[in-house]
Amino acid sequence: MSTPVPNLGAPHPGATSELTVSDGLIAETTEVAAAPGKKKRKRGLGLVFWLATSWLVVVLICAVFADLLPVKDPLTPDVINKLAYPGPDHWLGTDGLGRDTLARLVHGARVSVVISVTAVTIGMVVGGFLGIIAGFFRGKTETVLMTIINIILAFPALVLLLVLLAFVGRSLVVISLIVGFLSIPIYTRVARATTLAVAEREFVRASRTMGAKNSRVLAREILPNVVLPVAAFGLVAMGVVIVLEGTLAFLGLSVQQPAPTWGGMIFDGKRYINEAAHVVLIPSIAMFLTVLSLNLVGDALRTRFDVRGSNL
């Protein structure tokens, strides 16, 4: 287990991925090792879960339909009205260029959603695949794969980011791909650990003893048992990426202006904290609620998956 972008020095992304990884890993392995024990199941998901889900749905709608929603123009400056407080004209006030904060939040949601979904998908698919391969075949394949993973982890991500952004430009797609690439090692480690655990189980051994082909064992026995634990952390990992975007903005490495991003809004608004704190607080709260919701929902779903897992 390790952090996805150790050298960016962003403790959150790193730290949280630890959480995601280890949380799942532990849940899985302990269940495997310590056998069935949990009896709490089928409890209602609760009000908090549904509130969190609703918020996420709202964010998703904003991201998808930003252009259709009846919000103001997020890009055109209106310097006379800069730093306006929330009011009838601007429900959430305006930023340092007089642009409507609500409109920028709605459009910024798109960046957050695209980066987090892309990055997590890449991480899960590529990282998951590599992890399963490494965990299943072991031996040289594993050594080589894990060495590559270690190289990615030990390499200063800051340098990689600067080089890629200098040559390819800081478009949403490029940044999503880079963050995705950097999160591959985490998933590889989770998938590998889970695969190692699953491969030891009776049904897999049995299947192998009966002469099943590797590909068949992989597809039929290993994959289904690895996918769920890995996927269960997807939501939580998305939260990590959303916070990471803020750190990238701090380093001047987020999506190119004038596209609004939540991290960019927080960072650009930071210097107004004394005189117009809402400029920085409102996007911070939006990010806070989103990441919190992702964690709550992810946690609730994970509990469910785990329960099912132990029933296998």
Partner 1 sequence: MRGHRRPVRVSGKRVLASVGLVGLLLGSAACGGGDGDDNGPAQEGTVEDVSEQGDPVEGGEITVGLEAETNSWLPGEGSFSNSGTTVAYAIYDPLIKRTAEGDFRPYLAESMEPNADLTVWTLKLRPNVQFHDGTPLNAQALKTIFDEYLTAPTSNVKNTLADVTALNVVDDLTVEYVLAQTNAAFPSVLTGSPGWPFSPTAAAAAGEDAGANPVGTGPFQFVSWQRDSAFVVEKNDNYWQEGLPHLDGITFRPIPDEDTRVSSLQSGDIDAMQTLRQSTVQRARDLDGVDNYEYLGNNAGGSIINSSIAPFDDLRVRQALAYAIDQPALIDVIGGTGLTPAATQYFSPDSPFYSEKAAEAFPTYDMEQAQELYDDYINDPQRSDGEPVGTDLAFTYRCPPDPTLNELSQLYQNFWSQLGMDVSLETVEQAAHVQNGISKDYEVQCWRVGDEQDPYVTLKNAFTEGPLNFTGYTSPEIADGLETLRTTTDLAERQEAVAQISLDISENVPNLFTGYTLTDIAVRDVVKNVDGWTFPDGTEGDGVPGAQAMWGFVWTTE
Partner 2 sequence: MYVLRRLPSLLATLFAVSLLTFLMTSLLPGDPALQILGAENATPEAIAEVRAELGLDDPLPVRYLAWIGDALTGDFGRSYRTSEPVAEAIIDRLPVTAEVGILAIIIALLVAIPVGMLSAYRAGTRTDKIISSTSFGLLAVPNFMVAIFLILIFSVTLGILPATGWVNFTDDPVQNLRSALLPALSLAIAEMAVYTRLLRTDMIATLQQDFVTMARVKGVSNRRILFRHALRPSSFSLMTVAGVQVGAIIGGSVVIETLFALPGVGRLLLDSVVQRDLLMVQGVALVIAVSYVVVNFTVDILYSYLDPRISHGRSAARV
Q: Out of 61, 83, 125, 223, point to the residue binding partner 1 (CB under 8 A).
A: 83
Cα–Cα distance, 126 to 132 (Å, whole number): 10
Instruction: For 103-118, give the DSSP string.
Output: HHHHHHHHHHHHHHHH
**Structure tokens belonging to residue 312:** 């296998």
Q: Out of 1, 75, 126, 177, point to the residue binding partner 2 (CB under 8 A).
A: 1
Pick out residues in 38-77 that bind partner 2 (CB under 8 A). Answer: 38, 40, 48
Contact 132, 191 (CB under 8 A): yes
- Hey, is 9 helix, strand or coil? coil
If one asks whether residue 173 binds partner 1 (CB under 8 A), the answer comes out as no
Total of residues contacting partner 1 (CB under 8 A): 28
Report which DSSP code applies to 273: T
Nearest approach, Cβ of residue 120 and partner 2 (Å): 16
Q: Out of 12, 82, 220, 304, point to the residue binding partner 2 (CB under 8 A).
A: 12
If one asks whether residue 3 binds partner 2 (CB under 8 A), the answer comes out as yes
Q: Which is nearer to partner 2, 11 or 258 (CB)?
A: 11
If one asks whether residue 261 binds partner 2 (CB under 8 A), the answer comes out as no
Q: How many residues does the chain have?
A: 312
Helix (H), strand (E) at residue 176: helix 172-199
Pick out residues in 180-219 that bind partner 1 (CB under 8 A). Answer: none
Give rounded-to-5 percent helix, strand, coil for the chain: 75, 0, 25
Q: Which stretch binds partner 2 (CB under 8 A): 74-82, 98-106, 143-151, 203-211?
A: 143-151
- 312 touches which of partner 2, partner 1, none (CB within 5 to 8 A by kind)? none
Q: Is the dihedral of CA 279, 280, 285, 287 positive or negative?
A: positive
- Hey, is 205 helix, strand or coil? helix
If one asks whether residue 25 binds partner 2 (CB under 8 A), the answer comes out as yes
Q: Tell me the per-residue interface mask from 200 to 229 with partner 2, x by CB under 8 A, - otherwise.
A: ------------------------------
Cα–Cα distance, 49 to 25 (Å, whole number): 23
Half-sphere exposure of 220 (CA within 13 A, CB side): 12
If one asks whether residue 37 binds partner 2 (CB under 8 A), the answer comes out as yes
Q: From residue 35, give the alpha-carbon distance in Å to each of 125, 308, 310.
A: 29, 13, 8
If one asks whether residue 243 binds partner 2 (CB under 8 A), the answer comes out as yes
If one asks whether residue 305 binds partner 2 (CB under 8 A), the answer comes out as no
Cα–Cα distance, 272 to 280 (Å, whole number): 7
Burial of residue 11 (CB within 10 Å: 0-12, 13-18, 19+) is: exposed
Q: Which is nearer to partner 2, 204 or 280 (CB)?
A: 280
Pick out residues in 259-298 that bind partner 1 (CB under 8 A). Answer: 264, 267-268, 270-276
If one asks whether residue 79 binds partner 1 (CB under 8 A), the answer comes out as yes
Q: Out of 104, 170, 189, 278, point to the residue binding partner 2 (CB under 8 A).
A: 189
If one asks whether residue 116 binds partner 2 (CB under 8 A), the answer comes out as no
Contact 93, 279 (CB under 8 A): yes
Nearest approach, Cβ of residue 71 and partner 1 (Å): 18
Q: Which residues bind partner 1 (CB under 8 A)?
A: 75-77, 79, 82-83, 96-97, 162, 166, 169-170, 251-253, 256-258, 264, 267-268, 270-276
